[in-house]
Amino acid sequence: MRQLGVVLVLALCVTMGAAGVQVKAGNRIFPLESVKQLKELMGLEDDNVPLPLPETSVEAACANPLLPRIFRSVCRGGRTGIVFSTLVQIISPLDLCEICANPSCAGCLE
């Protein structure tokens, strides 16, 4: 019975930890998974993100019914392009080798 309790506590910690990663842009905080969805909806899957983001891609993201609800207030308010640009810039690595800390990663240049 004690083992079951330990497993449940560990599972809860892992679940809360995964859901708890957040990205801050100015005074607003967004879940990391929502920011990743935003980047995908804007067609910015690669790491060569043009900044500032084109206004057309910001407008298209706001009009997309798949946009996470948390961004609806951003779309209705001002400075949408700035907020979206900041979020995308934060989750886009500057250098592919920054994500290659794992020795099994191949293709990074020194």
Rounded distance, CA 58 to CA 65, Å? Answer: 13
Rounded distance, CA 96 to CA 98, Å? Answer: 5
Rounded distance, CA 2 to CA 8, Å? Answer: 10
Query: Do 74 and 28 meet the contact criterion of CB atoms below 8 Å apart?
Result: yes
Rounded distance, CA 53 to CA 60, Å? Answer: 12
Residues in the chain: 110
Percent of the chain clearing pLDDT 90 (strictly above): 27
Tens of pLDDT, residue by residue over 27-54, are 889 999 999 999 888 887 766 677 777 7
Is the entire prediction scored with pTM above 0.95?
Answer: no
Round the average pLDDT of the chain to a whole number and report it. 74
